[in-house]
Structure formats: structure tokens, C-alpha cells
Amino acid sequence: MHPCELPEWAIARGRGYNSFDTIDPARTALVVIDMQSVFVAEEEIFGNRHARAIVPQINRLVRGLRDTGVQVIWTRQTVSDAPPLAMPEWQYDMTDPVVQRAVGAMQVGAAARELFPEMALEPNDLVLDKYRYGAFSCPAGALAKALELAGIDTLILTGTLTNVCVESTAREGNMRGYKVIVVPDACAAVTDEEHLAALLNLRLNFADVKTADEVLALV
């Protein structure tokens, strides 16, 4: 698991913008970003040991928060060829075999696109496909609609990658007026440096950063 310590100056500065010491479970969603086999499983193209390391911690949060009435939402990074869901043509070089494999792994119907089998998914959880790094940027707008329908005002974010999809979603959520809490010991990047850089940016301006133990203590 990544180190998660942030400098005191960053915590102090960020406290003035985002510091949430209470939550209302009925108005809170735990959003688990992209814990899919393609990003977690050892044999998959983006399989990441750091992502595998946080599976137990995420499951602990999912079970603990779900029991208090927190809405659990899982996202799946998905690739589509159909506008407006399709990425711009320049985004992927489909002549590259690695890109071909990656795109294929995230298309509808691919086994690798599904949530990693060890994740604590339950039938009443919501599973949303996203087609951009930030879950709010998807043309379909599924996350925003689900949160509005449920009256959610607080997001707890976990998953992978810390510095890509988690950070993008946290920034978007903040700009939309949500209280955002990122759980550092339930997020994963490719390297410690990327993980810590994302947490630093988020704590300074866009989110509170609380460990899994701290989040569970809130409820």
C-alpha cells in the first residue's frame, strides 16, 4: 500500500477550504472508482499491485458505510466507438498493439472490464459506466443524475488511479458543490510519487483527505 502522509502545511492550508468532520449517511455516497479487473488483476494489461493491495480496505469501507445507509456506487471505465461516448479520434493510436489490447479490455462484453471479482459488490449497489477519466464528464451524465435523485451532498472517493480518475472526479465534484473526501489508504496509483502528488493537490484545494479509519469513525 502507498504511503499516505501529507505535510502539515498542506493539511493546515487545505483545512480552510475542505474540512468535513461530520457526515449524514443518508446524503453521502461512497464512490469506488474503476476497481475493475483490467486495472487490478495481475494478468491484465493495467493490472497494478497497489490496486490489489487496497481491495481489503475498500471492501471494509463498503461494508461499514453501506450498513449505515451510505449509497455505494461503483464506476467502470468503458470504451465505446459510438458518439458522443467515443473518445476523440486522436486519443488512441489503434495501430499500436498495446493500445488495441487496452481498448479491447474496456469494451462492453470484455471480462476485464467487469469489477474485480473480490470486490464487495451487492445487488442494491449502483454500477455506472464512465467514458472519461472524471466520472462527471461522461456525456451520459449518469453519476450526476444518480446523486441528484438520491439527494447526495457528500462524496467519499476510493479506487484507482489516484492521480487520474479519482483526482479528476474529486475536482469535478468540488466544482459542482459537493463535499468531497478522498481516502488515501483506499486509493492506488502506479507509483508512490504519483499517489502523493495527487493527494497533495486534492488536500490543498479540492477535498478533505481522511483515512479509512477516520471515515468509518464519522459514522
pLDDT at position 119 is: 98
pLDDT at position 139 is: 86
Which among 170, 169, 173, 165 is positioned nearest to 190, based on CA atoms? 165
Q: Is residue 2 part of a domain?
A: no
Q: What is the pLDDT along the chain (219 residues), one digit of tens a residue?
A: 898 899 999 999 999 899 999 999 999 999 999 999 999 999 999 999 999 999 999 999 999 999 999 999 999 999 998 889 988 889 888 889 999 999 999 999 999 999 999 999 999 999 999 999 999 998 889 999 999 999 999 999 999 999 999 999 999 999 999 999 999 999 999 999 999 999 999 999 999 999 999 999 998
Name the residue with cell 493539511. Answer: 11
Burial 15-26 (b: 16+ CB within 10 A, else e): eeebebeebebe
Helices then strands, each counted (H, E), the chain: 9, 6
Q: Is residue 131 part of a domain?
A: yes
Which among 178, 166, 176, 177 is positioned nearest to 202, based on CA atoms? 166
* Cα 54 to Cα 91, 117, 161, 186, distances in angstroms: 29, 14, 12, 5
Give the count of domains, the chain.
Answer: 1
Residue-range definition of the domain harbouring residue 108: 8-218
Angle at 186 between CA 151 and CA 168, to 5 degrees: 60
pTM: 0.96
Q: Which domain CATH number covers 55?
A: 3.40.50.850
